[in-house]
Structure 1
């Protein structure tokens, strides 16, 4: 049986781009990852509950859940990207026979992830304060 080598750079990229959907977890653990399926199920159920409770503001409820999921994916990308290669290999590549050498690509992904996350966090907080304090008077 061939054991596949799990690439840290690809995992970081998947977590940055599709982390809110759990794509990096499916890549790392396969289709039997209960946490990834639970995340998708919880997102769907919370969206359904928000639709039934607040049908007039379905978009806002869905947007809030999507933002939370997006931030969780970015945190996952930072954790994966900042894991040392030796620890990564010990956790995911023990039987692959290869060792990881991430290089600068994963560092650039971590920097992009951090910049994207901090920009999104500041924008979310600014818009939240605008809506809370002025009722959305500034846009």
Structure 2
């Protein structure tokens, strides 16, 4: 029989280790394909940050890659929020098959709410920053191309 999956731990893993797929491995095991794929956009985004540090913010590839890490972090924060707000009955039915609907691993406590609040604050900030960064670089590029055409 499989060990019960704790909702609080899953929410924190999704927020803190989500870009590395840790929550997926915790909930679905080491064979989970999405868990193995999650580090790819994270690594590409970190590579984009390193390119921006090395070549400056005018590097086109870096402003394409950097948002990948931001969107991955934001998606994992959203996952943490979904896990944290899931009803105990639904959590236990989905991740603790055979357990009572109100079994302790599915209960929502203060640590679970803490994960939801922190994920909401950080996830929203990272998401908005990624969107702003992407659009700023895109519009700066468009203005520069427009100047080239008009000269």
Give matches, 1:25-44, under 5 Å: 25-40=24-39, 43=41
Instruction: Tell me which residue corresponds to 2:97.
Output: 94
Asked if the contact 2:67–2:131 (Cα under 8 Å) also holds between the matched residues in 1, the reply is: no
Superposition CA RMSD, Å: 3.1
Alpha-carbon distance between aligned partners in 2 of 1:64 and 1:128, rounded to the nearest angstrom: 7
Asked if the contact 1:3–1:95 (Cα under 8 Å) also holds between the matched residues in 2, the reply is: no
Give matches, 1:1-139, under 5 Å: 2-40=1-39, 43=41, 47=44, 57-95=60-98, 98-100=103-105, 101-133=107-139
Any idea what the Cα deviations from partners look like across 1:45-82, whole Å, max 9, x if unmatched? Answer: x94xx98xx99555444422211211121111111111
SS at match of 1:108: helix
Asked if the contact 2:77–2:123 (Cα under 8 Å) also holds between the matched residues in 1, the reply is: yes
Considering Cα pairs closer than 8 Å and 6+ residues apart, tell me whether 1 or 2 has the greater RCO: 1
SS at match of 1:5: coil
C-alpha spacing 1:33/1:129, structure 2 compared with 1 (3 Å): closer
Equivalenced residue count is 128
Any idea what the Cα deviations from partners look like across 1:80-128, whole Å, max 9, x if unmatched? Answer: 1111111101111123574432212211211111111222233334444
Per-residue deviation, 1:133: 4.6
Q: TM-score, normalised by structure 2?
A: 0.68
SS at match of 2:97: coil
C-alpha spacing 1:129/1:61, structure 2 compared with 1 (3 Å): closer
Q: Which has the larger radius of gyration?
A: 2
